[in-house]
Amino acid sequence: MQHSAVNCQHFDSGTCRVASRIAGQPAATNPSACAFCLTLPDAMQRNRVTVSMALASVRNDQEASRRVLAANADAVQIETTEQSAAALAEIVSGRGVGSHLWRLLSGLGIEHKQTCDCLSLARRMNDLGPECCRAERDSLAAEMRANAGNYGWGEAVTAAVRAVTSGLAWRLNPLDVYGSLLDEAIWLAAAEIQQPAVDILLPIGPGSRYGDFELRMSLRSIEKHARGLRRVVVVGRIPGWLRETDRVRIVPRDEFRCNKASRISLKVLWAMEHLDLTDRVAFWNDDYLMLRDFDLRGTPSYYRGNLWRKGKDSWSQLLDHTGKVLSEAGFTARHFDIHVPILLNRDRFVAMSPWWQRSSKDKLGLVMKSVYGNQVCNGEAVTTHDCKLKQDWQQRIGSAASRRWVLSYGDSALQAGLLEWIEKRFPSPCKAERPRLKACC
């Protein structure tokens, strides 16, 4: 296997020096694991990836395994039962490469559990999408092979393939079981998302207190990590540093005079009716930050619980009001207005124009994503944990950055130091940023 693509000072001929020090013996690594490690806030040091590799290297030595785990338990982030169950449900019902692979293995008699390390690998494959998984085929297959050894299902897979008990077995190579299983999963996922690239629709208002730092960093993260993207369309008050490119279109638009919730839905409706957009559009906020490569065409319809609220703050009242309106109209009241993107079907959204007009005439308004999601997305809805970083961001960033492909944040997080963390992660301007003028002497 070629390792020339690994750009880490601790990489040494297929082993990781950090993981080897933790294990007390050589610990093997691969380009995919190294790339994932480099996305973490504590990259290239003791972290959940390097500790996991160390544990894998001593898995056949129970005493060494206990020693490594006892000394490094703080670095291995264990999900709660609720989080693991939600992650498992997302994989089982998903359409990505990891989800298809999960179902293929189940069809061969492999029963996974929500505590299995394979869950994080399947989730990462879903995030990568078919194209990136195809490029990382060898390293991903190697991780599958390692997991098979860790959990003892390797022989069962090989036996099932050789038994030729299903149509699947005819398409797999007994000499390359894991590679051919991955090929099949990639093919199935690609067949599901063989759709044109999508646009990101990013409406912005006048509310940034940081000179549109949020928009700047969101665009940098999109340029670096977005796959399956045609272009970004920014609509609203355009900052002076932003310029059009072949991948970014800017459309100045005044704010609508109505309640805050409806300013967003009416701006989206106006864009859907007047601009050249793809049939499916990824709705985006300027405080969304992509953390790893992700094919936007496969964005799930995420939700978290229901809209019912008892709080007296304006946001709780708005959610609860929307839930009541939806319920009275005979729809479910799932909470889709969490801090993640959502794919909108342009024709369906425009057809819901009476809802957006009703919202604009309402005192409180209606939250857009939940109105749309409960009428269009229920058949493919996926539950997930919400994540918007606040003042305590340092306590949450490690978990969020290692498990999510996108996160959101508020002003309190920026004031507490997240701004510097983001700038360090995305230091290079995107092509849509005008060059900064150098100060004269």
pLDDT tens across the length of the chain (441 residues): 344 456 788 888 888 999 999 999 998 887 767 877 877 777 888 887 788 788 777 767 778 877 887 787 666 554 445 556 666 777 877 888 988 888 887 777 776 655 566 777 888 888 888 888 888 888 888 878 777 765 555 555 655 554 444 455 555 666 777 888 888 888 888 877 667 889 999 999 887 888 899 999 999 999 999 988 999 999 999 999 999 999 999 999 988 889 889 999 999 999 999 999 999 999 999 999 999 888 898 888 999 999 999 888 999 999 999 999 999 999 999 999 999 999 999 999 999 999 999 999 988 999 999 999 999 998 788 888 888 999 999 988 887 877 788 999 999 999 999 999 999 999 999 999 998 765 554
Q: Find where tokens 């509310």 sit.
A: 207
Q: Tokens for 295?
A: 């094919």
Q: Are strands 248-252 and 15-16 parallel, antiparallel or unpaired?
A: unpaired
Handedness of CA 37, 40, 44, 46 (dihedral sign): negative
Q: Tokens for 24?
A: 């007390």
Residue 334 DSSP symbol: B
Q: For helices 62-72 and 48-57, give the axis angle rounded to 10 degrees.
A: 170
**SS3 helix, strand, coil % of the chain, rounded to 5?**
50, 10, 35
Amino acid 285 reads N
Residues 306 and 337: beta-carbon distance below 8 Å: no
pLDDT in the model for residue 1: 38
Q: What is the DSSP secondary-structure string of 417-433?
A: IIHHHHHHHS-SPPTTB
Question: In this structure, how many other beta carbons lie within 10 angstroms of the beta carbon of residue 171?
Answer: 13
State the Cα–Cα distance between residues 375 and 369, nearest whole angstrom. Answer: 10
For 205, the 3-state DSSP assignment is coil
Residues 146 and 53: beta-carbon distance below 8 Å: no
Question: For the purposes of burial, counting CB atoms within 10 Å of the CB of 96, is it exposed (0-12), middle (13-18) or buried (19 or more)?
Answer: buried
pLDDT in the model for residue 205: 87
Residues 251 and 257: beta-carbon distance below 8 Å: no
- CA-only gyration radius of the chain, Å: 23
Q: Which helix (H) or strand (E) holds 64?
A: helix 62-72
pLDDT in the model for residue 163: 47
**342-345 sheet: strands from edge to edge:** 248-252, 229-236, 198-204, 280-283, 342-345
Flag whether the pTM goes above 0.75: no
Q: Which helix (H) or strand (E) holds 375?
A: helix 368-376
Domain spans, the chain = 11-73, 81-192, 198-425
Q: What is 198-425's CATH number?
A: 3.90.550
The conformational region for residue 294 under phi > 0 = left, psi -120 to 50 = alpha, else beta, is beta
pLDDT in the model for residue 226: 92
